[in-house]
């Protein structure tokens, strides 16, 4: 059964959930999933539920919950010196995942990142997840903090996602950082990120695929791609992965364009290209409503083609835009 059993015990309830890889292997049709962004601090959990509720009719098998790094501000002290203060503007991913699983009885996938965490802090976070019965994670390096131009790892942390995945795999084998403490092995299903248009820091696609294979060899059981707007690039990416021995499921990630700002922001921030046909339609847009209509129509066509090709799942980046995704899913699922 694809959903979790309703139990009065949250702990037992969580333990009855499934791993993402089992959802993928156990289905004969393309699955539906999506990703949510934790709200800014001050909002309550209902704001999360309001974004999820409209999409529940499409039977999502799992929901990803992003993690956002700390930010820094500088506060002037009485002596005139500046004090660097770390702040987090969004609530914790673990708590949101627990709330989602408890309310909707489906699997939640917390994002786990390298940036800002020591190896010990990562292990503690994984112990907490394991205790709650949350056994799916998406392992990422993460972005630089906003005040830095490049990624800088914690001095006692991981520099690459492959290293993070290896640590999780070691815990799955019962190997923890402290050798003399006997602890049970974890049982995490590990996902990794893939880039159909290559990661912007990679020298070329071949190098990027080499790093992706390291993640799979370290223990990643499936891949979720960054958003793309040209399906040919996804299909080419999958073919290239298969040629070098990456045989795990590769889930395409789609993002419906919604605002005029997205026209410049998405290519700039995510280092992706818009196909010429899409660009021509976007250039005709006069306002956000025009852009949203084009974005929905384009995502519908992308989704239909991906369904025809029998991709394992289509993963939508909602970015708090569930109405657009609902329109798309109505036409496709």
Question: Domain-by-domain residue ranges, the chain?
Answer: 30-332
pLDDT digits (tens, 9 = 90+) for 284-294: 999 999 999 99
Confidence bin at 197 (pLDDT 50/70/90): very high
Greater model confidence, 56 or 156? 56
- Exposed/middle/buried for residue 272 (C-beta within 10 Å: 0-12, 13-18, 19+): buried
274 contacts 200 by C-beta, under 8 angstroms: no
- Exposed/middle/buried for residue 204 (C-beta within 10 Å: 0-12, 13-18, 19+): exposed
Residue whose token pair is 């993002």: 255
Quick one: which of 217, 129, 136, 123 has its CA closest to 179? 123
Residue 282 tokens read as 């976007």
C-alpha dihedral sign at 153, 159, 162, 166? negative
Residue 183 tokens read as 């602890």
Pairing relationship of beta strands 82-87 and 107-113 according to DSSP bridges: unpaired
**321 by DSSP, 3-state: which?**
coil
Residue 88 has pLDDT above 90, yes or no: no
Picking from 153-157, 231-235, 319-323, which range would have the lowest pLDDT averaged per residue?
Answer: 153-157
107 contacts 98 by C-beta, under 8 angstroms: no
Residue 69 has pLDDT above 70, yes or no: no
pLDDT at position 9 is: 45
Residue 303 has pLDDT above 50, yes or no: yes
pLDDT at position 6 is: 45
Residue 67 has pLDDT above 90, yes or no: no
Cα 34 to Cα 53: distance, rounded to the nearest angstrom? 12
The greatest distance separating any two alpha carbons of the chain, rounded to the nearest whole angstrom, comes to 67
Confidence bin at 246 (pLDDT 50/70/90): very high
198 contacts 30 by C-beta, under 8 angstroms: no
Confidence bin at 110 (pLDDT 50/70/90): very high
Q: Could you tell me which CATH class the domain 30-332 is placed in? A: alpha beta
pLDDT at position 90 is: 42
User: Looking at residues 152-170, what average pLDDT do you find?
Assistant: 89
Confidence bin at 186 (pLDDT 50/70/90): very high
C-alpha radius of gyration, the chain, whole number = 20
Strand blocks (E) in 45-154: 62-65, 71-76, 82-87, 107-113, 136-140
Residue 8 has pLDDT above 50, yes or no: no
The rounded mean pLDDT for the chain is 88
Within a 13 Å sphere around the CA of 331, how many CA atoms are in the beta-carbon half? Answer: 15
C-alpha dihedral sign at 225, 229, 235, 240? negative
Residue 149 has pLDDT above 60, yes or no: yes
Residue 63 has pLDDT above 90, yes or no: yes
Confidence bin at 157 (pLDDT 50/70/90): confident
Confidence bin at 83 (pLDDT 50/70/90): low
pLDDT digits (tens, 9 = 90+) for 256-300: 999 999 999 999 989 999 999 999 999 999 999 999 999 999 999
pLDDT at position 11 is: 47
Cα 240 to Cα 220: distance, rounded to the nearest angstrom? 17
């Amino acid at each position: 059964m694809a959903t979790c059993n309703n139990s009065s015990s949250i702990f037992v309830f969580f333990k009855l959930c499934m791993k993402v890889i089992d959802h993928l292997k156990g289905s004969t049709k393309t699955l539906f999933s999506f990703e949510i962004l934790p709200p800014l601090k001050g909002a309550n959990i209902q704001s999360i539920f309001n974004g999820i509720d409209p999409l529940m009719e499409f039977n999502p098998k799992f929901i990803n919950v992003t993690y956002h790094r700390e930010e820094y501000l500088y506060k002037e002290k009485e002596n005139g010196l500046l004090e660097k203060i770390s702040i987090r503007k969004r609530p914790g991913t673990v708590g949101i995942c627990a709330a989602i699983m408890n309310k909707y009885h489906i699997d939640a996938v917390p994002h786990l990142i390298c940036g800002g965490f020591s190896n010990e802090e990562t292990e503690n976070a994984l112990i907490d997840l394991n205790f709650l019965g949350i056994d799916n994670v998406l392992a990422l390096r993460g972005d630089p903090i906003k005040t830095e131009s490049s990624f800088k790892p914690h001095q006692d942390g991981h520099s690459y996602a492959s290293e993070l995945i290896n640590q999780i795999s070691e815990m799955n084998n019962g190997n923890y950082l402290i050798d003399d403490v006997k602890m049970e092995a974890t049982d995490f299903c590990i996902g990794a990120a893939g880039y159909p248009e290559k990661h912007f820091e990679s020298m070329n696609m071949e190098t990027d695929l080499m790093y992706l294979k390291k993640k799979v060899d370290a223990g990643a059981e499936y891949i979720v791609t960054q958003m793309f707007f040209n399906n040919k690039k996804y299909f080419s990416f999958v073919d290239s992965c298969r040629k070098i021995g990456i045989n795990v499921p590769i889930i395409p990630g789609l993002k419906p364009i919604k605002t005029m700002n997205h026209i410049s922001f998405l290519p700039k921030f995510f280092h992706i290209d818009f196909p010429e046909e899409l660009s021509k339609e976007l250039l005709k847009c006069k306002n956000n409503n025009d852009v949203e209509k084009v974005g929905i129509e384009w995502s519908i066509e992308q989704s239909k083609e991906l369904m025809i090709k029998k991709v394992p799942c289509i993963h939508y980046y909602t970015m708090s835009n569930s109405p657009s995704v609902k329109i798309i899913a109505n036409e496709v699922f």
